[in-house]
Amino acid sequence: MVQGSSISGFPEWLPSERAVEQQVIDTLREVFELNGFIGIETRAVEQGSSLLKKGETSKEIYLLSRLQEVGHESDTPVEERIGLHFDLTVPLSRYVVEHTGDLTFPFKRWQMQKVWRGERPQEGRFREFVQADIDVVGNGELPSHYEVELPLVMVEALERLRKFGLPKATVHANNRKLSEGFYRGIGLSDIEGVLREIDKLDKIGAEEVSKLLVKECGATASQADACLELAELTAETGDELKSRFDELCDKHNISRSDDNESYVLASQGVETLAMIVDEAARIRPGAVVADLKIARGLDYYTGSVYETFLDNAESLGSICSGGRYDNLVSQGKKKYPGVGLSIGMSRLLSYMLHTAGATVSRVSPAAVLVAVWNEEDRPACNAIAKTLRDRGIAADVAPSAAKLGKQIKYADKLGIPYVWFPADSTESESSHDEVKNIITGEQETADATSWQPDTVYARQTVSCAK
Amino acid sequence: MVQGSSISGFPEWLPSERAVEQQVIDTLREVFELNGFIGIETRAVEQGSSLLKKGETSKEIYLLSRLQEVGHESDTPVEERIGLHFDLTVPLSRYVVEHTGDLTFPFKRWQMQKVWRGERPQEGRFREFVQADIDVVGNGELPSHYEVELPLVMVEALERLRKFGLPKATVHANNRKLSEGFYRGIGLSDIEGVLREIDKLDKIGAEEVSKLLVKECGATASQADACLELAELTAETGDELKSRFDELCDKHNISRSDDNESYVLASQGVETLAMIVDEAARIRPGAVVADLKIARGLDYYTGSVYETFLDNAESLGSICSGGRYDNLVSQGKKKYPGVGLSIGMSRLLSYMLHTAGATVSRVSPAAVLVAVWNEEDRPACNAIAKTLRDRGIAADVAPSAAKLGKQIKYADKLGIPYVWFPADSTESESSHDEVKNIITGEQETADATSWQPDTVYARQTVSCAK
């Protein structure tokens, strides 16, 4: 990342880093499209009223004002102003309602865009970053099989990024109904509050969370203990999940009868979560585990919730999160339940570049630099480059007829592997074009209408140095 | 474009329209990279001081404020606030200065991003739109051959878009030195003022411009006439340009001697412009013409200026504009002269979609929808889809085991050409998978490990209906 970037929180990449980002974007898009997701792009702004409605980040909004409005900005209520979107889920829900008639449901969409959060500058967090989202939104109903399929699409995408240095990713899944049923079962009623405190486990530890559950959510010490025990429960199979959950219910005197609404609610969550881990295990063993500490701060999730962690990079936190939301989008009586996950691209890229050591094979997309002996020859050099380009080979032409060493240095700095030497027009007719691979030193006579670069040098590629 | 979009000036595309935009973006990127341009992306915001410095759009800036700052926004001077960029040239110049040490010069870069202009809402113009830019920036110096090459790269890119319904594009070039030399030669000194009025020719006509030249720029009636005569000059070859320009000098008593600084300045411009039209004619006849009414509103251009018009779509105005700027970027005594052009993508796309009738062959990227007979069979259906995807064939699976007609309707609505019928697991072993092309009606037995879609149905393609 650019050092000395003058606006903190707004990262910017050097060309070689941007080339890695571009390949990451291309890779994600390929996986999303192979899975039938439709790409959309929403405008960068939403109405203040819509930005303020939902989610943990409602306090971190950038509002816009036209230069002409300076001094009068506050005359307009925040709800009527426009601001930059802070995620891609709120815009999606607005887009779905606005264009219901033009969409086919279930609507599977991918979207990669910048989002902005007006965080306090001193926190050193990104205020502008790229999110890569997939969601499926149903019209009225949404089958639960999507709650397995979507995290698996993300795992597939992340798996493809392992060649860029990304460690193995594991999705940790939980279910809001499971948590809520259990909390109610032990006599707690401030469900949102408990989830909010449990969400802090990784940051502040069990002891502090326990204190907060007592202080903020009206829990007794033993209720707090039960919440923490639930959060410790993990499972890799549905059966394991069910039996361990039932054990915990018995321990904390939650009746497992059909009359107990709390247990019935929890059971729905257990069933869905069990299906998710079992189905995922069949397709990609170890990719998805049940982890009952996953809480997610956002209040609009109603079913499955997901966070994704990288092996040996837990300090990075979750790099891909999401869940099922049944009530985020509605229009009159009509509901549009959805499930989706979002990759925090910029943080992921930062890890790949600076921890994993992902590098691009060359800065320039050009495979060939055509050398220029004299400025008078430039038209001939341009013609050679055009012939190559018409055949799909990216080519640049030397900026000036400088000494050959300087031209080769220009190619070298940009990582362009081949330098093309046009036949010397002042020599006899027997003079031929030649092309040199400046990495291997090999040089051969060549014809622009038929020459091919070695496969390994044909395109910019990203690899991992470490 | 979405009707009833609730924030005017912020266009948003339906999925089928976005698919066309995505292919336009892919096409432009391919051409830029074939020509050795390096992709970068800059942050969306710049310092107010930097946004206010240059250009015609300085009055059309969106400033940002954090929600917490509401009521106190105006405490901070505009120069110290941050705002959204209104073009990609100002960000490029800042990027070049900030990262000089990490760049190789001449720095050839492409960039496609959204830009924002805080226009008055009632004007019905885009306030958010995508620009596609290429620029070459030199360190200290920049050879003039780039002034031919860059417009030709843009012509090549626009030529590729003709299959999406875009008419033939012609670049109209002029040169600021030519104009300035001529204006000074006839005794005018408010060069910027004259250019600003001449820039209005297409909008308000010669008579009104003439009045403004007299009223605003201190021109006499005959000086105004001379300016208008210059603006009428067009040429398709360098020789034609030179002889017609010299005629005009003689007519208006501009001495063509080496002692006349004005004529010397104008001659530099004439030489460059002549080179541009001649070189361009050699490579792509008719692609670039000299057109001396091209003025460009922006004051940072110092040499060549370009505007691009589409045949029979002149009312659209220039769809790709730019020029050479020698003084936009500097650091101490060091200068970074550049030349670049910018395509106004959103307007172009609007034309392609709504006037030329560009349409995508299907909304979904999927080539195949795997039908689901029973929900119990879904794992087998997922396995078929995975086999296809692993072979690069985009595949979706039916949302539910609804009646077959409903599943086919889902494929039809999304334009998915093939529906895959898995072998019936309840039947004898002789049952085979079958695949039906629902457009042609053809159906055949198929094996997911080897089946290939017909080439014409393999991918989303864009074509032009009209």
Query: What are the pLDDT digits (tens) for A103-133?
Result: 999 999 999 999 999 887 666 688 999 999 9
Quote the DSSP letter at residue A331.
E
Arithmetic mean of pLDDT, A43-66? 82
> Are the beta carbons of A118 and B60 separated by less than 8 Å?
no
Over residues A177-211, the pLDDT tens digits come to 999 999 999 999 999 999 999 999 988 999 999 99
Helices B201-217 and B191-198, packing angle to 10 deg: 150
The residue of chain B with its CA nearest to that of A281 is B379
Burial grade of A288 (CB within 10 A; 0-12, 13-18, 19 or more):
buried
Q: Which amino acid is at B463?
A: S
Model pLDDT, residue B49: 87
Between B109, B118, B282, which is nearest A67 by CB?
B118
Q: What is the mean pLDDT of chain A?
A: 92
Query: What is the structure's pLDDT at A5?
Result: 46
Of B2, B33, B66, the CB nearest to A98: B2
- Please report the pLDDT score of residue B439 as a whole number: 96
Chain A residues whose CB is inside 8 A of the B35 CB are 389, 394-396
pLDDT above 70: residue A366:
yes
Max distance between CA atoms of chain A, in angstroms, equals 99
Contacts of residue A207, defined as CB under 8 A and 6 or more positions apart, other chains included, come to none
Do the Cβ atoms of A19 and B41 come within 8 Å? no
Residues from chain A that touch B453, judged by Cβ atoms under 8 A, are: none
Position A324, amino acid: R
Chain B positions touching A4 (Cβ under 8 A) are 98
For B4, the closest of A22, A47, A98 (CB atoms) is A98
Q: Do the annotations mark residue B66 as ligand-binding? A: no
Distance from CA of A138 to the nearest CA of B (A): 10
User: Using CB atoms and an 8 Å cut-off, which of residues 106-135 of chain B contact chain A?
Assistant: 106, 108-109, 114, 116, 118, 128
State ipTM: 0.94
Q: Is A49 on the interface with B (CB under 8 A)?
A: no
Contact B235, B277 (CB under 8 A): yes
Residue A461 labeled ligand binder: no
- Strand A358-360 relative to strand A462-464, pairing: antiparallel
**Number of inter-chain CB pairs under 8 A, A vs B:** 234
CA B36, CA A460: separation in Å to the nearest integer? 12
Which of B67, B119, B382, B410 is the best mutation test for A, with the most CBs of A within 10 A? Answer: B67
List the single residue in B with minimal CA-CA distance to A391: B34
Range list of H helices, B355-452:
378-390, 404-414
Interface-testing mutation among B64, B92, B419, with chain A (most A C-beta atoms within 10 A) = B64
Q: What pLDDT does residue A3 have?
A: 36
> What are the residues whose beta carbons fall under 8 Å from the beta carbon of A405, sequence distance 6 or more?
none
pLDDT score for A300:
85
The helix or strand, by DSSP H or E, that contains position A268, with its residue range, turns out to be: helix A261-283
Quick check: B459 contacting A, CB < 8 Å?
A: no
Check pLDDT > 80 for residue A363: yes
Mean pLDDT, rounded, for A233-243: 97
Contact B36 A99 (CB under 8 A): no
Distance from CA of A285 to the nearest CA of B (A): 14
Q: Which residues pair with B110 in a beta bridge?
A: B39, B134
Judging contacts by C-beta atoms under 8 Å, the chain B residues touching residue A13 are 40-41
Interface of B with A in 336-395 (CB under 8 A): 363-366, 369, 375, 378-379, 382, 386, 389, 392-395
* B159–chain A Cβ distance below 8 A for any pair: no
pLDDT along chain B (466 residues), means of 10: 61 96 97 98 93 66 90 87 94 93 97 93 81 97 96 96 94 97 96 93 93 95 96 96 97 95 97 95 94 86 95 89 89 90 93 94 97 95 97 98 96 98 75 95 97 95 84
Q: Are B133 and B340 in contact (CB under 8 A)?
A: yes
- Answer yes or no: is pLDDT of A265 > 70: yes
Residue type, A79: E
Subunit contact A283:B382, Cβ cutoff 8 A: yes
Tokens of B436: 């039906």
Residues 6+ apart with CB under 8 A from A32: A39, A110, A134, A153, A157
A131 is known to lie in a ligand binding site? yes
Alpha carbon distance B205, B46 (integer Å): 37
Cβ contact (<8 Å) for A102 and B14?
A: yes
Mutate to test the interface with A, among B28, B38, B130 (most CBs of A within 10 A): B38
Collect all residues of chain B within an 8 Å Cβ-Cβ radius of residue A47: 6-7
pLDDT greater than 50 at residue A297: yes
Distance from CA of A162 to the nearest CA of B (A): 17
Contact criterion met (CB below 8 Å) for B309 and B170: yes
- The encoded tokens of residue B240 equal 């034609």
B43 CB neighbours in chain A (<8 A) are 5, 7, 10-12, 128
- Residue in B38, B83, B128 nearest the CB of A365: B38
Which tens digit of pLDDT belongs to each residue from B302-361?
999 999 999 998 888 899 999 999 988 777 888 999 999 999 998 899 999 999 999 999
Interface test with B, best of A23, A53, A58, A63 (most B CBs within 10 A): A63
- Put simply, the answer to whether A2 touches B382 (Cβ < 8 Å) is no
In B, residues 4-23, which contact A (CB 8 Å cutoff)? 4-7, 10-15, 18-19, 21-22
B45 vs A128: CB contact, 8 Å cut-off? yes
- What pTM, to 2 d.p., does this model score? 0.95
**Distance between terminal CA atoms of chain A?**
18
Find the residue in A nearest to B409 (Cα).
A104
The confidence score (pLDDT) of residue B466 equals: 64
